[in-house]
């Protein structure tokens, strides 16, 4: 066999091995890819909005668990500590909560107490309220200890849970036949507007195998949207009109009382 043929055979074998090692992970990933879709991608909020339900459905290969994380836009908050003084409740220290999600819900197909998800994945991906990263800083230039920061953080999360803006719902994802699943996302009445991100994860043996992110748009609609946009863009004129309307209403009420 000539040197040229040996070189050609060697190059052919190298190319075959390179193709096998480079394409095998992609092939495995494609087999474990999760596919998700929404019934609708926008939630209009009108004056009489009292909450809404949104259906998310998809398909996932294998017998892994499904986790859905619904996260709202980031906002800044001011938390006040209440103190009792002489039988009265007064405002105490002020604390800033920077860039916390306005809405945060976790939906899972597994139970909360099961070991289907490792603690490392929980902490890395904010898969629980305990692992949710929230930046707590004092309103004034002073230092907070870790225990005091945790105190304000827990109070903030507790308030958000009471309002229905934060929550965890284990075993809320229904797994159907042929690797299909679905979950009903419940949105409360006080839903903040903005762009939401729905992240769906396929988990097996404590590891995330596949993930997909889906946007959800929450917007104002109807007459409430017109008034809100006018107040945002022309705040002075909006305040002036509100004062004029209040004076006109008082004058008309007074005239009606005098006529009677």
Contact residues for 74 (Cβ-Cβ < 8 A; gap 6+): 99, 100, 101, 102
Q: Which residues of the chain have pLDDT under 50?
A: 1, 4-6, 8-30
Quick one: tokens of 155? 């109070």
Give, in order, the Cα–Cα distances in Å from 7 to each of 18, 155, 259: 16, 71, 110
Residue ranges per domain, the chain? 34-232
Pick from 233, 213, 244: nearest CA to 67? 213
Whole-angstrom Cα distance, residue 37 to residue 12?
A: 43
With both helix axes pointing from N to C terminus, report the angle between 235-259 and 223-233 in degrees, rounded to the nearest 10.
Answer: 120
So what's the pLDDT on residue 167?
92
Whole-angstrom Cα distance, residue 239 to residue 247?
A: 12
Count of CB atoms situated within 10 Å of the CB of 94: 13
Quick one: tokens of 47? 């004056």
Given a contact cutoff of 8 angstroms between Cβ atoms, the answer to whether 100 and 136 are in contact is no
Quick one: tokens of 45? 């909020």
Given a contact cutoff of 8 angstroms between Cβ atoms, the answer to whether 212 and 35 are in contact is yes
Given a contact cutoff of 8 angstroms between Cβ atoms, the answer to whether 43 and 52 are in contact is yes
Whole-angstrom Cα distance, residue 229 to residue 193?
A: 13
Phi, psi of 3 (to 5 degrees): -65, -35
Given a contact cutoff of 8 angstroms between Cβ atoms, the answer to whether 2 and 170 are in contact is no
Q: Which residue's entry shows tokens 């009792």?
A: 84
CATH 2.60.40.1930 given to domain 34-232: yes
Whole-angstrom Cα distance, residue 167 to residue 173?
A: 15
Whole-angstrom Cα distance, residue 72 to residue 113?
A: 26
Can you give the pTM of this predicted structure? Answer: 0.72
Whole-angstrom Cα distance, residue 121 to residue 137?
A: 26
So what's the pLDDT on residue 176?
84
What is the tens place of the pLDDT at every residue in 151-181?
A: 888 889 999 999 999 999 888 898 887 788 9
Whole-angstrom Cα distance, residue 186 to residue 55?
A: 9
User: Could you give the strand order of the β-sheet that contains 65-71, starting from the edge strand earlier in sequence?
Assistant: 42-45, 207-220, 194-204, 65-71, 104-108, 166-169
């Amino acid at each position: 066999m000539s040197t040229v043929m040996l070189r050609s055979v060697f190059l052919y074998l190298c190319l075959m091995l390179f193709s096998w090692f480079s394409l095998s992970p992609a092939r495995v990933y494609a087999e474990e890819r999760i596919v998700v879709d929404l019934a609708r991608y926008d939630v209009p909020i009108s004056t009489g909005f009292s909450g809404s339900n949104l259906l998310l459905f998809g398909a996932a290969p294998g017998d892994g668990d499904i986790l859905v994380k619904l996260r709202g836009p980031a906002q800044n908050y001011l938390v006040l500590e209440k103190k009792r003084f002489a039988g009265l409740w007064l405002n105490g220290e002020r604390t800033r909560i920077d860039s916390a999600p306005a809405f945060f819900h976790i939906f899972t197909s597994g139970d909360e107490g099961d070991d289907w998800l490792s603690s490392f994945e929980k902490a890395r991906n904010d898969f629980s309220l305990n692992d949710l990263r929230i930046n707590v800083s004092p309103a004034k230039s002073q230092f907070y200890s870790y225990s005091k920061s945790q105190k304000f953080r827990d109070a903030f999360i507790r308030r958000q849970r009471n309002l229905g803006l934060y929550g965890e719902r284990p075993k809320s994802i229904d797994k159907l036949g042929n690797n299909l699943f679905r979950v009903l996302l419940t949105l409360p009445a006080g839903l903040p507007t903005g762009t939401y991100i729905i992240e769906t994860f396929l988990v097996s043996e404590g590891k995330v195998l596949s993930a997909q992110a889906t946007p959800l748009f929450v917007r104002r609609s109807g007459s409430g949207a017109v008034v809100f946009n006018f107040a945002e863009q022309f705040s002075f004129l909006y305040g002036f009109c509100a004062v004029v309307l209040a004076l006109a209403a008082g004058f008309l009420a007074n005239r009606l009382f005098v006529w009677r």
